[in-house]
Amino acid sequence: MFYGIDLPGRLMLGTAQYPSPAILRDAIAASGAGVITVSLRREGQGGGAFRQILRDSGCRILPNTAGCHTAREAITTAHMARELFGTDWIKLEVIGHADTLQPDPFALVEAARVLCAEGFRVFPYTTEDLIVGERLLEAGCRVLMPWGAPIGSGQGLRHVEALRTMRAHFPEVPLVIDAGIGAPSQAMAAMEMGFDAVLLNTAVARALDPVEMARAFGQAVSAGRLAYRAGLMPRRDMAVASTPVFGQAVLA
């Protein structure tokens, strides 16, 4: 549940880089996504036809501040997004490094504090750093979105143990893996670890068949969540026979 809203699907899908509006529309439908993200820069390029696809999808729209490099720029973009899309949900991105697209933790917390005070429901794109996570929660965020790997890299979960630690450290906070996911198996792994959702874009939009890839990711996220809830067996250092030895007949 995110800010009191129980979403129908745990996949969050980006809307950039698709070969055509029709493929974007079909990919959203195939994915079963509960949320679709959109930046003001992308929306401005698509015009009315793009907005119609968003409305027809039936998904909750999560505008983002993609491309912002300062707190002030992100805050201004968030206000514009709220006016345009009629939602107080905002995915907050404040980029601090041009090559890795790593978020600037100082500007991120600054912007989050302002936006939360103004009534926004902030979804901050962050790293797996626990201290930054604590500061974002203190600022008013009720969701954290740690990266799996740099945006668009397809590297998957680069720091698995750090992400496990974050999940354990914030047991009651909704956590969404955001960025770096390149394969359905990576999304499933995140869900098996207990994360609440996965957000991705490039892995679907740039696939040879975006619609089928969107379907694959939707199924992977669902399967990972089911596996987590069912309870994965623990890893063992030694083999454990699945057939008991005691009570069996002894053939001489």
How far apart are alpha carbons 69 and 71 in whole angstroms? Answer: 7
Q: Is 180 annotated as a binding residue?
A: yes
Q: Is 4 annotated as a binding residue?
A: no
Q: Which candidate in 10, 25, 42, 91 is catalytic?
A: 91
Q: Is 202 annotated as a binding residue?
A: yes
Q: Is 152 annotated as a binding residue?
A: yes
Long-range contacts (CB closer than 8 Å, 24 or more residues apart) made by 105-112: 105/129, 105/132, 105/135, 107/69, 107/70, 107/71, 107/74, 108/71, 108/132, 108/136, 109/135, 109/136, 109/139, 110/71, 111/71, 111/74, 111/75, 111/78, 112/136, 112/139, 112/140, 112/141
Residue 99 has a CB neighbour count (10 Å cut-off) of 6
217 catalytic residue (yes or no): no
Q: Is 179 annotated as a binding residue?
A: yes
Residues annotated as catalytic are 91
List residues forming the annotated binding site for 1-deoxy-D-xylulose 5-phosphate. Answer: 152, 179-180, 201-202
List residues forming the annotated binding site. Answer: 152, 179-180, 201-202
